[in-house]
């Protein structure tokens, strides 16, 4: 990890041939911040890890800066034990008070809902439970599905009171102390040069185009270096494609 301030100082030496900062530093800092936001949206460069409380209805509120997740699990003696993903879950219904319903539980024979009084339907009469053949992610810790637009994670079959989530966040509140992964540095420097000369008349169109191409090339390199293969997510997604079939 490198501080943003260090990267800007390196840029001064490498691209401007200067060993001392000048009055353009605030401008370069702002250009670098915009570059991090561009890389953050395309490559998800801002990685965070947080502990989130499980609500009484077995949902977890997503952080306000959430983009996408890398790992979701529970803390087992300092190790993250993954929860299974089940993308076949439907969104939660609402009770008569307008609150999200609790999760479905598997009693061994059929799927039932608690916190639903005596019915398996929402207040609008929509069918919610007893869905035979629903796929799942196969985990002793239960399963989950993320509803990003609604702002929550739905859990089923989990007794956890909190979860650990390692996730990609939007880039906010950046200054010179902001830490950046090594594999994004060259892409960020290329962005800074591209944006610096973009509107300067002293640089021709050919050089500006070359600067943009260099940035795109470095961004692709960073994407390859940042590629992560999560075997747990793969296995859970693979299992979720299976359905139970009635015997004939």
DSSP secondary structure of the chain? -EEHHHHHHHHHHHHH--SS--TTHHHHHHHHHHHHHHHHHHH---EEEEEEEPPTTSEEEPPTTEEEEEEEEEEETTEEEEPEE-TTPPPP-B-TTSPBPPPEEE-SSSEEESSSTT-SB-TT--B-S--TT------TT-EEEEETTTTEEEEES---SEEEEEEEE---S--TT-EE-GGGHHHHHHHHHHHHHTT-TTS-HHHHHHHHHHHHHHHHHHHHHT----HHHHHHHHHTT-------
The pair of three-digit structure tokens given for residue 214, joined into one six-digit string: 């260099």
* Residues 136, 144: Cα–Cα separation, whole Å: 9
> In this structure, are residues 86 and 197 in contact, taking their beta carbons and an 8 Å threshold?
no
Q: What is the pLDDT of residue 132?
A: 33
Cβ neighbors of 217 (< 8 A, separation 6 or more) are 190
Answer for the pair 189, 7: CB distance below 8 angstroms, yes or no: yes
Distance separating alpha carbons of residues 181 and 186, to the nearest angstrom: 11
Q: Rounded to whole angstroms, how far apart are CA atoms 47 and 42?
A: 13
| Confidence (pLDDT) at 44 | 64
pLDDT for 37 equals 83
In the chain, which stretches have pLDDT less than 50? 105-138, 229-232, 238-247
Overall pTM > 0.95: no
pLDDT at 174: 73
| Residue labelled with tokens 């929509």 | 126
Cα R_g (the chain), whole angstroms: 24
What's the rounded Cα separation, in Å, for the pair 94 and 112? Answer: 16
């Amino acid at each position: 990890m490198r501080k943003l301030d260090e990267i800007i100082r390196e840029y001064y030496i490498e691209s401007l041939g200067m060993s001392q900062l000048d009055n353009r530093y605030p401008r370069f800092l702002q250009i670098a911040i915009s570059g991090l936001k561009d890389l953050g949206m395309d490559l998800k460069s801002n990685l965070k890890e947080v502990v989130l409380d499980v609500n009484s209805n077995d949902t977890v509120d997503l952080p306000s800066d959430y983009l996408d997740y890398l790992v979701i699990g529970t803390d087992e003696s300092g190790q993250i034990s993954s929860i299974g993903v089940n993308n076949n879950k439907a969104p939660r219904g609402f009770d008569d008070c307008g609150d999200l319903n609790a999760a479905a539980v598997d009693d061994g024979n059929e799927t039932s809902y608690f916190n639903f009084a005596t019915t398996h339907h929402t207040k609008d009469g929509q069918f919610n439970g007893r869905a035979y053949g629903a796929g799942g992610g196969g985990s002793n810790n239960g399963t989950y599905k993320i509803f990003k637009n609604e702002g929550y994670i739905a859990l089923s079959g989990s007794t956890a009171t909190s979860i650990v989530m390692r996730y990609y966040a939007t880039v906010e509140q950046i200054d010179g102390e902001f830490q950046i992964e090594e594999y994004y540095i060259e892409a960020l420097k290329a962005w800074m040069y591209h944006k610096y000369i973009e509107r300067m008349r002293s640089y021709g169109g050919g050089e500006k185009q070359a600067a943009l191409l260099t940035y795109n090339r470095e961004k692709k390199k960073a994407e390859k270096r940042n590629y992560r293969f999560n075997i747990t997510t793969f296995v859970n997604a693979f299992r979720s494609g299976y359905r139970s079939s009635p015997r004939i």
